[in-house]
Amino acid sequence: MRILVTGGAGYIGGFTVHRLLADGHTVVVYDNLSAGHRPAVPPGLLHVGDLADTARLDHLFTAERIDAVVHFAASCYVGESVTDPAKYYRNNVANTLTLLETVRRHGVKRFVFSSTCATYGVPDVVPIPEDHPQRPVNPYGNTKLAVEFMLRDYTAYGLGFAALRYFNASGASADGTRGEHHNPETHLIPLALQVALGQRPHLSVFGTDYPTPDGTCVRDYIHVEDLAEAHALALGAIVPGEGKAWNVGTGSGSSVREVIRTCEEVSGRKIAVVEGPRRAGDPPALVATGDKLRRELGWVPKYPTLRQIVETAWAWHRQNPKGYSS
Catalytically active residues are 140
Ordered alpha helix ranges (H), the chain: 11-22, 54-64, 78-83, 85-88, 95-105, 139-154, 188-196, 224-237, 256-267, 291-297, 306-319
Burial of 50 (0-12, 13-18, 19+ CB in 10 A): middle
Cα separation, 101 vs 140, whole angstroms:
22
d(CA 250, CA 321) in angstroms, rounded, equals: 29
* Interatomic CA distance for residues 136 and 126, integer angstroms: 15
For residue 258, give the nearest of 280, 248, 273, 276 by alpha carbon. 273
CA 193 – CA 128 distance, rounded (Å): 29
Q: 10 Å Cβ neighbour count for 325?
A: 10
Helix axes 188-196, 306-319, angle to 10 degrees: 50
